[in-house]
A = this chain, B = another copy of it.
Amino acid sequence: MDNREHPLGLDHSLGFALGVSYRKISALLASRLRPIGLTPEQWSVLARISEKDGQIQKEIAERAGKDKPTTTRILDGLEAKGFITRKIGPSDRRSFEVSLTEQGRNAAELAAPVERDTIREACAGFTAEQYRTMMKWLDAINSNVDRILQPETE
């Protein structure tokens, strides 16, 4: 991006703005998912599990955009509520295969439209095209950051 364009108080910081929007949407979603017994982050993990049964935690973590410790603790919560079960991996005893319970499947079916509607309302006034562009830009940011972190860590 060109340099001298945004003078930069934090009013102009995308990182900051991203955080504010994320927190606002999360708070709204949290209030609506509470009756189902899910937090937004538990839902984001549960949704991944419901897409494919028997994934191991590492896979779930990657697909949910969370690190392994965070995933472990979210799964602990989901297991405590009876939404998932863990089964020792048959081919690799270090891993756990995660499955939905009947209750978990019910919760996921209730939660999906709640999230969909909430996002729609939050994006009122956006065209579908703008929505897609936004998603594409967020992806580009993710790739940029991944690329920066990669060589730094090596």
Query: A-side interface residues toward B, CB under 8 Å?
Result: 1-3, 5-6, 8-10, 12-29, 31, 40, 44, 47-48, 51, 65, 112, 115-116, 118-128, 130-132, 134-135, 137-142, 144-146, 148-149, 152
Give the interface centre of A16, A26, A27, A149 by most chain B CB atoms within 10 Å: A16
Q: Are A123 and B18 in contact (CB under 8 A)?
A: no
What B residues does A126 contact at CB under 8 A?
A: 1, 137, 140
Number of copies: 2
Q: Known interface pairs A16-B65, A115-B15. Does A3 touch B120 (Cβ–Cβ under 8 Å)?
A: yes
Q: Is the interface of A mostly helix, strand, loop or mixed?
A: helix
What B residues does A127 contact at CB under 8 A?
A: 1-2
What is the bound-complex CA distance between A126 and B29, given in angstroms?
A: 30
A110 to chain B, nearest CB (A): 15
Q: Are B149 and A122 in contact (CB under 8 A)?
A: no
What is the bound-complex CA distance between A148 and B27, given in angstroms?
A: 11
Q: Are A121 and B139 in contact (CB under 8 A)?
A: no
Q: List 10 A-B contacts (CB under 8 A).
A: A3-B120, A6-B131, A8-B115, A15-B25, A21-B141, A24-B141, A24-B142, A28-B145, A121-B144, A122-B148
Q: Known interface pairs A122-B144, A125-B140. Does A44 touch B16 (Cβ–Cβ under 8 Å)?
A: yes
